[in-house]
Each structure stands twice: as structure tokens, then as C-alpha cells.
């Protein structure tokens, strides 16, 4: 799936570069949180973002989908200049990005099918039959087709995270950002979720950028690692 931007907010990145950060700065209430962040993530890569609690991992991910202000430098994500994106264009950026949260953030007033259909309705899928096919295909891909009409609260935490991954996949994104996706899970379930993300990456070439403190999973499923530390991001690939 190719990324397209809009108006002067778009930047012609290299064909295979999904994320390009240059001298990025993010601040918080007490001062600068991250500065001099320089990072390129290429199409189809699987990249871990590690670091201590409070180092800025979540803030960095939020900045990539325009949920956190960028205070300096440039940030190009799926062809959009997110450092200067207009509010009306943020939904278009987010159609190209799937987001997986640690605490799932599912809507518990509706079943699994309706959780996913809600996303499709919100992103412009007009035809009911096309929505049905997309939901069923995506639930099959994450291994919970038989849970479509369950309430999320009836599911195990691992199943809920599979629904979260399905929600991230539903619009065939170019990039998936996952913030501690195994943080609330036991080791066996964590391994199953990480294997699912690895399989999605290999089979669809969807770029993955995953924050994690679960070093056991990183050892089990090795990939490129970048580190939030000392107020910046260190790319271990370049050390």
C-alpha cells in the first residue's frame, strides 16, 4: 500500500522510507524530553524501540501519528510532514497507520465485529458487504474469527490484544505503531502476540515500530533495535 500526502504538508521521501526523523525535538512540561532524534525506518522493517520508563518511547510514537506536538526538526511519516500537519489532514494520515495499545482500548459497549466495523465506517467504507468481508478477513488473519460476536470483556487478554491488532490492520496500513503490546500479558501469551506481529510483517511487509521493555521477547524474536536514552534516540544499527 503506497502512501500519499496532501498539499504542502507532504514531502517526497525516498521510495522505501516510511519514517524519516531529522533533528526531532519533543518537549514536556518540565523541559525537553527528546532532542536531536535522527531515525529512518524503511518499508517492511521490524524495529524495536526500547528504553526505561519515562525515557520518551510513548511520546515518540504519539508524535508519529500526530497525537503529540513536535517542537523542532522534521518528521516525515507515510509521506506526511507530521511536524506541520493541519488538523483536517490528521485522519488521512491515520488511515495509513495502525496503532496497537498496551491496554487494548476496545469499545466494550459493542461486540468484536462492531468494534472493527466502527473503524471502517469512520474511515469511509460505505458498502456494508465490503465492510463485512474486510472484518471477517482481518479476524481470520489474527486467529479469532470465531470471536466476532463476543463482547471484548468476554475475551482473554491475549484475545483482546488480537482484536487490537485486527483493528490496527483493518485499513491495510503501511505502518503499525505498537506501544508495549505485550506489557499486560503473561510470557506464553506475549510470545503468541509477538509471533503474530512477526508473521504479519513477513507476510504483508507492513512496517512495524514496536516499543517494548520485554527483553525476553526481543531475544526470542530478534530485529533491529533503537534505544531511547539520555534524552535522545540511539540507533544500534549505526553503532
Residue 204 has pLDDT above 90, yes or no: yes
The residues facing 20 across adjacent strands are 40, 76
Please, what is the average pLDDT of the chain? 91
Output the pLDDT for position 236.
80
Backbone dihedral region for residue 3 (phi beyond 0: left; psi -120 to 50: alpha; all else: beta): beta
Output the pLDDT for position 237.
73
Of the pLDDT bands very low, low, confident and very high (cuts 50, 70, 90), residue 181 is: very high
- Range list of β-strands (E), 78-173: 80-81, 97-100
**Residue 35 and residue 230: Cα distance in Å, rounded?**
10
pTM for this one? 0.90
Output the pLDDT for position 239.
57
Of the pLDDT bands very low, low, confident and very high (cuts 50, 70, 90), residue 28 is: confident
Instruction: Give me the mean pLDDT over the 117-143 stretch.
Output: 95
Residue 191 has pLDDT above 60, yes or no: yes
Instruction: Give me the mean pLDDT over the 155-163 stretch.
Output: 97
Output the pLDDT for position 11.
43
Amino acid at each position: 500500500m503506497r502512501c500519499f500526502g496532501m498539499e504542502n504538508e507532504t514531502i517526497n521521501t525516498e521510495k522505501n522510507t516510511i519514517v524519516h526523523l531529522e533533528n526531532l525535538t519533543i518537549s514536556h512540561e518540565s523541559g525537553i524530553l527528546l532532542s536531536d532524534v535522527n531515525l529512518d525506518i524503511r518499508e517492511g522493517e521490524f524495529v524495536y524501540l526500547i528504553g526505561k520508563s519515562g525515557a520518551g518511547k510513548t511520546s515518540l510514537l504519539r508524535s508519529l501519528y500526530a497525537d503529540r506536538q513536535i517542537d523542532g526538526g522534521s518528521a516525515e511519516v507515510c509521506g506526511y510532514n507530521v511536524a506541520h500537519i493541519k488538523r483536517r489532514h490528521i485522519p488521512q494520515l491515520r488511515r495509513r497507520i495502525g496503532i496497537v495499545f498496551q491496554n487494548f482500548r476496545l469499545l466494550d459497549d459493542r461486540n468484536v465485529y462492531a468494534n472493527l466495523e466502527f473503524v471502517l465506517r469512520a474511515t469511509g467504507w460505505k458498502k456494508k458487504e465490503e465492510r463485512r468481508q474486510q472484518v471477517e478477513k482481518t479476524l481470520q488473519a489474527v486467529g479469532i474469527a470465531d470471536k466476532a460476536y463476543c463482547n471484548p470483556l468476554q475475551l482473554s487478554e491475549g484475545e483482546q490484544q488480537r482484536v487490537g491488532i485486527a483493528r490496527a490492520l483493518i485499513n491495510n496500513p503501511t505502518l503499525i505503531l505498537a506501544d508495549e503490546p505485550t506489557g499486560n500479558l503473561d510470557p506464553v501469551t506475549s510470545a503468541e502476540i509477538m509471533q503474530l506481529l512477526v508473521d504479519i510483517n513477513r507476510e504483508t511487509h507492513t512496517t512495524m515500530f514496536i516499543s517494548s521493555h520485554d527483553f525476553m521477547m526481543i531475544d526470542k524474536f530478534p530485529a533491529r533495535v533503537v534505544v531511547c536514552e539520555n534524552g535522545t534516540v540511539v540507533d544500534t544499527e549505526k553503532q
